[in-house]
Structure 1
Amino acid sequence: MSAIASGLQWFVNLGASVMLPILLFIFALILRIKPSKAFKAGLMVGIGFIGLNLVISLLTKNLGPASHAMVRNFGMHLGTIDIGWPAASAIAYGTVLGSLAIPVGVITNVVLLLLGLTQTLDVDVWNYWHIAFTGSLVYAVSHSFSLGIFTMVVHVMIIYLLADMSAPYIQKQYGLDGISFPQGASAPGYVLALPLNWLMDRIPGINKIKLTPKTIQKRMGIFGDSGVMGLLIGIVIGILAKYSVTKTLQLGVSTAAVLVLMPRMVSLLMEGLTPISEGANELVQKHFPGRNLYIGMDSALAVGNETVLSASLLLVPITLLIAV
């Protein structure tokens, strides 16, 4: 058992950029996609993830210090630190139950697919750390191993349900055909977003507002361009951080680069996912007519959307204000 756990841990430690291409290559072969095409598809997914990580690193490297500077400048006293998902996932996978999260998630997914209770084939096994975390918390409180496993199963079933329900909206909004987001940190957002969207669609005045990158660019001209918007947002954050003119301009250009490069990285990743998604749906239609299959991926794919990026950057100062 310890050897299996060690093997799983080693595989997880490869990271998404290596682990996902391997899994997708094997899955593509199962779908009877040509080995050369399967290999290229998996490799493109890995390249896309590397590109995403590089762009995100560019953003965090520049935006992180600016955020800390804003906290200091406005005299904010925030004593609790959000350690972020890398540390949280390491903690989750390092517990007694953590090493079992991947087999529990995969087995539950396969059973639900065979029973026709989900349409999501989750290949994003790295993010099973979410169920590892909840299961470990329950085990720590109850000291019941079986209750911890039960918690992981229930949690991942809820995630698959939300992934299936939100998939049509995700595919329409982000142009990610055949993709769903069975990601524990983002899937629950659908439960909040759907009723709020319904409510705002029925409030006179607000339901007439149509703000999208395209409409903004049409009305604002050059100032609505994603690169220019990124530059302006970066400059504003730099001013709030009381940066020098040089550092403010550097932050602005870096932010602009993120808004322009991120969609390109996502398109690379989708280039690899598309043939696998098409092959999976062909197989499902052959054996289960009338059913659709979604490929479950990390919601980081949505970061390539201009609306998501712009909103995320604007929420940095807003979030700090809310925290105070």
Structure 2
Amino acid sequence: MDILSNVVQSIIGVGPSVMLPIIIFIVGLIFRVKPGKALVSGITVGIGMIGINLVINLLTTSVGPAAQAMVKRFGFHLTIIDAGWPAVSAGTWAQPIAAIMIPIILVVNIGLILIKFTKTLDIDIWNYWHMIAASSTAYVITKSWWFSILCGIIYEAAVLIIADKTAPKVQEYYGLEGISFPTGSAAAYGLLGIPVGWVVSKIPGISKLDVDPETIQKRFGIFGEPMVMGIIIGALLAALGGYSVPNILKLGMAMGGVMFLMPRMVKILMEGLIPIQEGAQSLLQSKYGNREIYLGMDAALSTGAPATLATGLLMVPITLFLAIILPGNRVLPFGDLATIPFFVALIVPSRKGNIVHSVISCTIVMAVGLLMATDFGPTLTTMMHGIVKFPHGAAEVSNLDTGGNVLNWLVLKFSQLVKPLF
């Protein structure tokens, strides 16, 4: 098991920019794309992912310190620290169950496609850790291997169903033909956020507020340009963090750069995926008629849409404010604040890019997420104990990505319910 774990860690360690080209090449060959074309597709996707990661790094390294500055400036005191998804991911991979889950997840996905349970082929192996987190949660509580594997499979099936159901909106809104988002955190927040958004859109008064990037651009001219929106939102975050004027301008420009560059990076990645998608459709049509298959990709691709990125960035100060006023919450949002734009990937398309409706919906969902993350604190603290260094002053740790994830929280409750049986 240690050898298997080391092999898995070595593969994961190379990162998505290396893994994806290899996976795309293999998938291309399976779908009878010519080797040369499949190789070029894989390399193009890898380059696109490098570009996306560069922009995401700019986003997280800019927003993260601003969020920390807000926490320090306003003197927030809560006993559970949001350690962020990287720390929870490390705790997840350290569990004994983790090593065997990657092949299980892949085999189950292929099996579910063959029996027509799902249309999504999840090639985003990098984000399998969300499903493994469900298994690890069950393992920490019950210490049962078979039950932990079962929980991971149930979580995977739920994510694939959500990816299938939301794929038409994802493809239409983001212009990502043949793509779905089986990213665990995006699926879980979407599961709550989409119906909440529908209710919000029916509230008298609010229902008539239609504020999308196109409307803003039409009404406010240059101030509605995505890059200018990014500058304004970035400057707002910096001002709330108490930054000096030069640093306010720097963060504003960084966010403007993110809004401008991300759609271009996504476009490069999609150029590489088009031949694979065409090959998949051609093969499936020859064998199964008009059957569709979606390529499951990272929800980070959604940040190419200005409304998604704007909604996610606006949710940073709102989430901090919620944490202070929400009765029963003990989580101090911290590590996952910069990744909130990925959480809203399925909510924004369901609201057709309406930023007002999206922000209201996400605020309601985030309130629920904070309470779930509070409840998850003891389990995630146990999972990460001795694996990662706890933030200074933290009595317990949790996070928004896993702890605030309704699918993972249901696994937690299920595991606690059946624990006496083991």
TM category (shorter chain) comes to over 0.9
Once the two structures are superposed, what CA deviation does each residue of 1:50-84 show, in whole Å capped at 9, x if it has no partner? 11111111122222222111222222223432222
Q: CA deviation at 1:2?
A: 4.8
Matching of residues 179-198 of structure 1 within 5 Å: 179-198=179-198
The residue number in structure 2 matching 1:139 is: 139
Q: Does 1:66 align with 2:66?
A: yes
Matching of residues 1-324 of structure 1 within 5 Å: 2-324=2-324
Q: Distance in 2 between matches of 1:42 and 1:244?
A: 44
Contact kept? 1:101, 1:129, Cα under 8 Å: no
Instruction: Kindly indicate whether structure 1 or structure 2 has the higher relative contact order, using CA contacts under 8 Å at least 6 residues apart.
Output: 2
Q: Distance in 2 between matches of 1:290 and 1:272?
A: 23
The alignment's C-alpha RMSD in Å is 1.5
The residue number in structure 1 matching 2:418 is: none
Structure 1 pair 239–5 and aligned structure 2 pair: CA distance change class (3 A): closer
Q: Distance in 2 between matches of 1:213 and 1:318?
A: 20
Contact kept? 1:104, 1:152, Cα under 8 Å: no
Amino acid at match of 1:154: I
DSSP-derived class of the 1:211 partner: coil
Unmatched 5+ stretches in structure 2: 325-422
DSSP-derived class of the 1:323 partner: helix
Contact kept? 2:89, 2:129, Cα under 8 Å: yes
Farther-moved stretch of structure 1 (288-297 vs 195-204): 195-204
Structure 1 pair 286–2 and aligned structure 2 pair: CA distance change class (3 A): farther
Q: Distance in 2 between matches of 1:6 and 1:238?
A: 41
Identity %: 46
Q: Distance in 1 between matches of 2:139 and 2:65?
A: 37
Contact kept? 2:5, 2:98, Cα under 8 Å: no
Q: Distance in 2 between matches of 1:6 and 1:62?
A: 33
Amino acid at match of 2:13: N
Q: Distance in 2 between matches of 1:4 and 1:287?
A: 36
The residue number in structure 1 matching 2:368 is: none
Q: CA deviation at 1:9?
A: 2.6
Contact kept? 2:48, 2:266, Cα under 8 Å: yes
Once the two structures are superposed, what CA deviation does each residue of 1:83-102 show, in whole Å capped at 9, x if it has no partner? 22222222212211101111
Amino acid at match of 1:163: A
Structure 1 pair 140–197 and aligned structure 2 pair: CA distance change class (3 A): closer
- TM-score (normalizing by structure 2): 0.74
Once the two structures are superposed, what CA deviation does each residue of 1:237-288 show, in whole Å capped at 9, x if it has no partner? 2222221111111111111111111111111111111211121111111111
Q: Distance in 2 between matches of 1:140 and 1:315?
A: 31
Farther-moved stretch of structure 1 (3-12 vs 210-219): 3-12
Q: Distance in 2 between matches of 1:62 and 1:6?
A: 33
Q: Distance in 2 between matches of 1:91 and 1:203?
A: 42
Q: CA deviation at 1:175?
A: 1.1
Contact kept? 2:105, 2:153, Cα under 8 Å: yes
